[in-house]
């Protein structure tokens, strides 16, 4: 029997109608970010408490997810790669997907002395390039493996996006913003955000998807 969406993806709407105070959740997440030493600290906080709406809130940064919104933690891409979070959303023109990579939290975006991205940023971009290359070559296999075959025709060829979450807003300089814009321009579908952007997105969950 082939897989279906519900076998892999969690319906984010389940978490939006149980009286959660998302303003308070944003505050708690901000406090966790200030304490975090590395990415794994944040992953433990999200996964240990099953706060899937935290990475799920990233959909608020896109123009889809208004009609349906799903999340799959630790989604495998074949035997080679593992995505931290796969987000699936639908708007009036069809389904779209965001593959999310979390990197370290309280790190600089760039190495100032040589004007290039820091190790964490470079690792994240390299990972996403690998995902994109794999997805470009295995899209049909991927859709069927995760129960998306029936809706694959409603996912545009350009409807798969990639999001790198790394660093803090307070550590970003103007030069960092320029480097980020350059990376986003060079890789189609890539968005790079700080963890503080998720803090901004969480309260917007009061408006649902």
What digits encode the pLDDT tens for the residues 48-77? 999 999 999 999 999 887 788 999 999 999
pLDDT at 2: 45
Given a cut of 50, the residues of the chain with pLDDT beneath it are 1-2
Question: Residues 165, 195: contact at Cβ < 8 Å?
Answer: yes
pLDDT at 3: 55
Left, alpha or beta for 161 (phi > 0: left; psi -120 to 50: alpha)?
beta
**pLDDT at residue number 98:** 97
Q: What is the pLDDT of residue 94?
A: 84
Contact between residue 90 and residue 68 where contact means Cβ atoms under 8 Å apart: yes
Total count of residues recorded for the chain: 209
What span, in angstroms and rounded, lies between the C-alpha atoms of 99 and 132?
A: 9
Domains in the chain, CATH or no CATH each = 5-207 (3.40.91)
């Amino acid at each position: 029997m082939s897989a279906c969406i519900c076998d892999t993806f969690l319906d984010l709407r389940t978490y939006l109608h149980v009286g959660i105070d998302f303003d308070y959740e944003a505050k708690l997440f901000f406090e966790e970010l200030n304490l975090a030493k590395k990415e794994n600290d944040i992953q433990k906080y999200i996964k240990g408490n099953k706060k899937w709406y935290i990475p799920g809130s990233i959909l608020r940064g896109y123009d889809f997810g208004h009609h349906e919104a799903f999340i799959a933690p630790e989604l495998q891409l074949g035997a080679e790669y593992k995505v931290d979070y796969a987000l699936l959303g639908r708007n009036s023109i069809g389904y779209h997907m965001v593959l999310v990579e979390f990197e370290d939290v309280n790190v600089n975006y760039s190495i100032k002395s040589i004007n290039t991205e820091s190790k964490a940023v470079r690792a994240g971009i390299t990972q996403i390039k690998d995902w994109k290359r794999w997805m470009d070559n295995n899209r049909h296999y991927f859709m069927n493996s995760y129960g998306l075959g029936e809706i694959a025709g409603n996912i545009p060829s350009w409807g798969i996006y990639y999001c790198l979450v790394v660093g803090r807003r307070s550590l970003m300089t103007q030069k960092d913003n320029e480097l980020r814009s350059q990376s986003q321009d060079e890789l189609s579908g890539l968005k790079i955000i700080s963890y503080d952007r998720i803090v901004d997105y969480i309260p917007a969950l009061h408006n649902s998807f």
